[in-house]
Every structure is written in structure tokens, then in C-alpha cells.
Amino acid sequence: MKTSHKNLLFPYTVLSLMILCHGKDLFFNDNGNLVLPGSYNIPWMAGIEDFRDLSLLTIPGTHDSMALHGGPEAECQVLSLKDQLRVGIRYLDLKVFALGNTMYVMHGVMYQHSSFKEVLDTVQAFLSEFKTEAVIIRVKPESFEKDSVNQMVQSLIGNDKHVWVNSGMPTMGQVRGKIVFVQKSTFTLGIPLIDTESKDGNKVNNIKDKDNAIIKHLNQAAEAFGGDNIVLTYSSGTGFGTFWGMFLTPKRVAEKVNPWLNQYLRQFYPNHPRPCFGVIAMDFPGIDLIQTVINLNWW
């Protein structure tokens, strides 16, 4: 299966750069009041075969999933965690700061009004209601207490059978109803994670360059999927800290990138099988973009 996807993206790269344009529709969302259609398929993973490895799925995720507070330069999402899960997000990106006996969810120096335990409680409540689903969580330890986060997370989850902390790649059937941790750098619980983005790769000077970077990273993801790692690509970015992109907040980047990304991904719908891109972590994703990512799983 893996070899049949290799090099699928290359023929489309030049064409897509010429024809895809930016706009604002249901692919970008900055409205925190989620209203789902009555027919909306919340438990979309129910349609994934039990035998498929998690690394063979294309999964919609959010970058800095809890970054709803702190002003334009800090805010990356608008939907609450509960609503993100209901709309189809299955990968969460969390920066965690350990202080005393509590782990706080942060974005830089901005506290995001939630503890890590509260995040786990929300996810577990969702999985109790929708037992066919699985939610992948990446923990990024922050500040001077990085080394203690591993131990604190392990103590918090204990021997909970509804949490996957093994390094082996599970099948969908093995993780239904479970939280799945991924490991990278100083956090060592769960499945190894490959991040296609280089250091400072989230810095955006202009949108066209960001488009090109996303295409490059999706090419890498399509090559690397299906192994013993979860592969992650970020479509998010910010101009904060750059000169030419100083006014490109995460929201303004997403407003331009998200409709483009939706159209770029949809060009692969005629492919049988469709390419696998692993996790795509987004800022301010709209319902239609999330559905476009999900529908790459149906061949």
C-alpha cells in the first residue's frame, strides 16, 4: 500500500500553485458558536476498518489546540475543545507547564484557562459518548519543569486501559475509545512522532511561500506514512517575529491558507487509492476543510 502512494503529489505541485487561490468560506472559521447540521457524522472513525494501522489514516488536527486566549498574536483556535472534537478533530497539540502538582495548558506565557487534567477529562467524556473514536494527543513540555511532565502525566493516567502509551503502532480496532499519546523530544510516552516542519518553519513572511512549504511537507508525509511513526504536518503559521510578515497573525494566515489547502487536497479525490498525509494540524479550520481531510480516508 505504501509504495503505491509514492510521488503522487509531485505532478500536481506546479499546477496547484498556478490555479489555487485564496478566499474565505467554510474552510476558515473564527466563529466560536458551533452549529452542526443534524446529519453531521461526528463519529467518523466508525467507518475506518479495525485492521487499519493508525499511521495509514489522514487525520484532521489543530495546532496549539487550546490557544483561545491571549490576543491576536497568541490565538490559534476559536472552538472549545469539546466542539473541536465534535466537529471531527482527532489530534490535539498541547503545550504543558508543570508547576507544583498541577500541569497547566499554555501558549507561550499565556495561560489557556485549563489544566491538563481538565483536557483529559473533556476528551475522555467525548470518547465515552463516541466509543468508535480515538484522540491523539501530543504533549509539549514547557519551561524549566520539562523533565517532570512525563512523570506527572504517567501518574495522572495511572493504569487507565483507555489510554495508549505504548511505542508500537496500534490498529484502529486497538484504540477505539482511547486517548493515544505520541512522543517527541522530552515527552516519551506513546507512539514516535515525525514532524515534517523544520525549526522556525511556522514563521510566515508571505502566503505564497507558506503554500510552497505546505506542499513540500505534504510530499514528505506521503512518503513517510504507514510505518512505525505518526507523521505530522502543520498548515499553521504566524508572521510574528518576522519583518515582512509582521501583520500576519495566526488568524490572518489561516484565513488565506485554509481555503487554498482545501482545494489543494480535493484534487486527490479522483485517485484510487487516495494519498495518505498522516496528521494535518490547522489553525481556525472550518467544517468543510475538516471534512475534506477526513474524506481522504475513503477510497
CATH T-level assignment (fold) for domain 2-295: TIM Barrel (3.20.20)
Residue 13 clears pLDDT 50, i.e. is over it? no
Residue 18 clears pLDDT 60, i.e. is over it? no
Least confident stretch, 150-159, 163-172, 200-209, 215-224: 200-209
Least confident stretch, 87-96, 228-237, 243-252, 280-289: 243-252
Q: Tell me, what amino acid is at 249?
A: T
Residue 197 is predicted with a pLDDT of 81
Question: Measured between alpha carbons, how far is 277 from 57 in angstroms, rounded to an integer?
Answer: 7
Higher pLDDT, 299 or 184: 184
* Domain extent listing, the chain: 2-295
Residue 208: which H helix or E strand, with range?
helix 207-224
Q: Which three three-digit cell numbers place residue 156?
A: 495522572
**Nearest alpha-carbon partner for 93 in 62, 117, 47, 131:** 62
Q: Tell me, what amino acid is at 85?
A: L
Rounded to 5°, angle at Cα 199 from 106 and 253: 65
Question: Measured between alpha carbons, how far is 189 from 208 in angstroms, rounded to an integer?
Answer: 36
- Note if the bond before 273 is cis, omega within 30 degrees: yes
- Read off the DSSP letter of residue 54: G
